[in-house]
Amino acid sequence: GAGVSQSPRYKVAKRGQDVALRCDPISGHVSLFWYQQALGQGPEFLTYFQNEAQLDKSGLPSDRFFAERPEGSVSTLKIQRTQQEDSAVYLCASSLSGRSGNTIYFGEGSWLTVV
């Protein structure tokens, strides 16, 4: 597609519920990133994929967070047993390669509210 596509755009989850957020990167982009943006904050790094390999998951806040990109294209961020502090915008981004300084292109984000 023309840009990074994320779904759902908005999700309200009850505390304790599992959620799955989908990212469809720009076609041909090798690198894929997930960021978390809390209200009034800048995006914070969660995890990085190069093709299907998850090379860095150091930013995932807890073991309730899990990301995958099994075929090196679409990625899913899963949050198990959601908590109120998980409420944030989850941003997916992709870039042509993992080389430093490559421009990364962001999706519109998935707004998660945990009630």
Partner 1 sequence: AQSVSQHNHHVILSEAASLELGCNYSYGGTVNLFWYVQYPGQHLQLLLKYFSGDPLVKGIKGFEAEFIKSKFSFNLRKPSVQWSDTAEYFCAVNEGTYKYIFGTGTRLKVLA
Query: Does 27 help bind partner 1 (rule: CB under 8 A)?
Result: no
Query: Does 25 help bind partner 1 (rule: CB under 8 A)?
Result: no
Smallest gap from residue 13 Cβ to partner 1 (A):
22
CB 88 within 8 A of CB 102: no
Residue 97 CB burial class (10 angstroms; 0-12, 13-18, ≥19): exposed
Choosing from 40, 63, 71, 84, the residue that interacts with partner 1 (CB under 8 A) is 40
Residues in the chain: 115
Long-range contacts of 107-110 (CB under 8 A, 24+ apart): 107/3, 107/4, 107/5, 107/6, 107/23, 108/6, 108/9, 109/6, 109/9, 109/37, 110/6, 110/7, 110/8, 110/9, 110/10, 110/11, 110/21
Choosing from 13, 45, 76, 80, the residue that interacts with partner 1 (CB under 8 A) is 45
Query: Does 8 help bind partner 1 (rule: CB under 8 A)?
Result: no
Query: Does 109 help bind partner 1 (rule: CB under 8 A)?
Result: yes
Smallest gap from residue 15 Cβ to partner 1 (A):
27
Smallest gap from residue 41 Cβ to partner 1 (A):
6
Contact set with partner 1 (CB under 8 A): 3-4, 31, 33, 35, 40-45, 48, 50, 55-56, 91, 93, 95, 98, 100-101, 103-109
